[in-house]
């Protein structure tokens, strides 16, 4: 299976058993850049800071 990285935009081969979060797949290269403190131009800040949506009735 292939998944497109949200950081660099490249297609990566990933296992069919790997769980991909709703925010999108982040490749190992971009993941290491994030851990080093760099920012990725393709990842918007709003994706990381997006509030969780609750299911059910809201008051």
Domain for residue 56, yes or no?
no
Domain for residue 33, yes or no?
yes
Domain for residue 54, yes or no?
no
Domain for residue 16, yes or no?
yes
What pLDDT digit, counting tens, does each position of 3-47 carry?
A: 999 988 899 999 999 999 888 999 999 999 888 888 877 655 444
Residue 17 lies in domain: 2-44
The per-residue pLDDT for 45 is 47
Domain for residue 20, yes or no?
yes
Q: What is the tally of structural domains in the chain? A: 1
- Please, which pLDDT band fits residue 57 given cuts at 50, 70 and 90? low
Domain for residue 14, yes or no?
yes
The per-residue pLDDT for 2 is 92
- Contact between 5 and 27 under an 8 Å Cβ cutoff? The reply is yes
- Which has the higher per-residue pLDDT, 52 or 41? 41
| pTM of this structure | 0.62
């Amino acid at each position: 299976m292939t998944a497109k990285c949200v950081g660099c935009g490249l297609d990566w081969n990933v296992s069919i058993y790997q769980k991909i979060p709703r925010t999108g797949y982040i490749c190992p290269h971009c993941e290491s850049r994030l851990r080093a403190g760099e920012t990725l131009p393709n990842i918007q800040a709003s994706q990381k800071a997006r509030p969780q949506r609750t299911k059910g009735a809201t008051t």
